[in-house]
């Protein structure tokens, strides 16, 4: 297992927060029962970068909190390249304040959300959304970061 974390934001990414993000990746893998060796890349970016990525890849000219770029294909190659997660630190901080919890919890939630996208989940339809939210809740409970 390899988890690559790149902080390109202006915010400080403490060793504790890096550890919490890595733990979130591991809990998502555990909840999903994923047994293969894997690699995932997580980039922490500023609002300008995530807005540009959102515009380029989703044709949405707006800032968002998290983007996921799945790469996993069911083949025999290991380690499996699950994909990339891009998190906007400023948006995470704003949302943490709005929801009344800490930045660490919000960063873990966005990591869990992104991991589930990399593992094939989506939330376009109501059934898909319910299933994905249930998985997010399980991950957050395993981290002892439930609401």
Domain boundaries, the chain: 2-142
Average pLDDT on 33-51 reads 95
* Model confidence band, residue 124 (pLDDT cutoffs 50, 70, 90): confident
28-37 residue pLDDT tens: 999 999 999 9
Residue 119: count of CB within 10 angstroms of its CB:
19
Buried b (16+ CB within 10 A) or exposed e, 17-39: bbebbbbbbbbbbebbebeeebe
Residue 101 assigned as binding residue: no
Name the average pLDDT for the chain.
93
Q: Give pLDDT, residue 17.
A: 94
Q: Give pLDDT, residue 76.
A: 65
Residue with the larger pLDDT of the pair 73 and 113: 113
Structure-block tokens of residue 21: 């993000």
Domain 2-142 listed as CATH 1.20.120.1730: no
SS (H, E, C) 61-76: CCCCCEEEEECCCCCC
Is the pTM higher than 0.75? yes
């Amino acid at each position: 297992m390899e988890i690559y974390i790149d902080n390109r934001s202006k915010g400080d990414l403490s060793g504790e927060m890096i550890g919490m993000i890595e733990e979130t990746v591991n809990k998502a893998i555990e909840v999903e029962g994923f047994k293969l060796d894997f690699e995932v890349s997580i980039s922490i970016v500023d609002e300008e970068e995530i807005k540009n990525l959102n515009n380029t890849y989703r044709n949405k000219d707006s800032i968002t909190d998290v983007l996921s770029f799945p790469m996993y294909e069911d083949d025999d190659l290991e380690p499996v390249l699950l994909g990339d997660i891009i998190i906007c630190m400023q948006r995470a901080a704003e949302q943490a304040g709005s929801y009344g919890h800490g930045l660490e919890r919000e960063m873990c939630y966005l990591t869990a959300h992104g991991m589930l996208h990399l593992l094939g989940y989506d939330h376009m339809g109501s059934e898909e959304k319910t299933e994905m939210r249930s998985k997010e809740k399980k991950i957050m409970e395993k981290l002892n970061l439930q609401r």
